Structure 1
Amino acid sequence: MGTDIDTLATKSSWGQRPEASLPEAKAAGEADSGHVARPVGLRTRLIGQLASFGLVGGLAFVVDLAVYNAVRATVLQDSPIWSKVVSVAVATAFAWLGNRYLTFRRERSPHAVREGVLFAVVNVVGLLIAAGCLFVSHYVLGFTSQLADNISGNGVGLVLGTAFRFAAYRWLVFSPRSRTLRVPRSARRIVRLDTGGPS
């Protein structure tokens, strides 16, 4: 009789995982969910950055337009070129602040001057990309109509220049590598106490 009971107990335990393996299964499950959550989080963050980047760009366009017309109608009535230079400079500064404190607020560098210079350089390159598309279309391919100029300069050139600016902002101007990582003073004190070093 005792042997039958032992046999039934052994059979009932077949197909069941030991209790000791439950923490391992839980850890494995958390690891799997972490691998799934990380790409989803990165994708969500990228979408948010793209939306914010578009918003800042749209507002910068409005600033450019408003400043140009205001300056052109007042202090620089006879200087349309310099009016445009002033409006572009103001709009670029606005775009830098908007992207620094909104789009890439988590990645911004403590070195604001260096970041601002990189931002300006990236915008100049973006402008050259748009101008290059217009040059190729107008002077190389021979599409000289106003429609062709708008398609190449304000269509293809704008899209390529904007894509370049966003990529450069994200991976160069506001790159996490550009931040100075400093250990908090309290953390340094704890490390010194643990290692027996001087406080």
Structure 2
Amino acid sequence: MSVVESVLARIPQPYRRIAIRHRELLKFGLVGGVTFFIDTAVFYLLKLTVLDPKPVTAKVVAVLVATIVSYVLNREWSFRTRGGRERHHEATLYFAVSGIGVALYAAPLWISRYVLHLQTPFTTRFVEEIADFTAGQIVGLLVGMAFRWWAFRKWVFPDQKQAAPQEERPLSLSRR
């Protein structure tokens, strides 16, 4: 029995159908959880050491490291049944979409720091840390993740049935 089958067997039947129907989203969320911890660890490692005066740069580097891990996990697990593109084309699209995601991840932290001035000497170090975490690790993550989920499914890992030319699609009365 595979790990997925083992987990599914523990989920109550009504929820099991929902989990199966939304398996890509659940896998994407799990990959996101893993990369959230990678992102957070790298961000704070850099922010509290070599990039202390440059938290936005630390955030960008952390997101880039997490994005590389995310590509491998999403390609090989979350969206493994999708695609059909050549690997280099798919990777180029993935990193282009992720580049936009990096801007979306970093924007709330930039706004918090440089528009709202939630940094020392304008506020206490404690408030600065809470604002950095909230803006960079929560708001930025949610905005970036929503965009990436939509863009990955639409452009990077499209459903092969939807990507096929009209004359090649099999005729079907229902989409279940």
Bucket of the pairwise TM-score, normalised by the shorter protein: 0.5 to 0.7
For 1:120 and 1:139, how far apart are their aligned partners in 2? 27
What are the superposed Cα offsets for residues 138-157 of structure 1, whole Å, 9 maximum, x if unpaired? 21123332211221111111
Tell whether 2:158 aligns with 1:168. Answer: no
Q: CA RMSD in A?
A: 3.7
Please give the alpha-carbon distance, in whole angstroms, between the structure 2 residues aligned to 1:133 and 1:108: 32
Q: Percent identity?
A: 33
Q: 1:142 aligns to what?
A: 117
Distance between the aligned counterparts of 1:64 and 1:155, measured in 2? 12
Contact 1:108–1:174 (CA<8 Å) still a contact in 2? yes
Structure 2 SS opposite 1:106: coil
**Within 2, Cα distance between the matches of 1:62 and 1:153?**
13
TM-score under structure 1 length normalisation: 0.51
User: Number of paired residues?
Assistant: 131
- Are residues 1:54 and 2:29 paired? yes
User: Structure 1 CA distance, aligned partners of 2:163 and 2:80?
Assistant: 12
Question: Gaps (5+ residues) in structure 2?
Answer: 1-17, 52-56, 120-127, 169-176
The one of 66, 89, 92 equivalent to 1:117 is 92
Larger Rg: 1
What are the equivalent positions in structure 2 for 1:54-73 lying under 5 Å apart?
A: 54-61=29-36
Q: Higher helix fraction: Structure 1 or Structure 2?
A: 1
Residues 100 and 108, structure 1, Cα contact 8 Å, conserved in 2: no
Amino acid of the residue matched to residue 102 of structure 1?
W
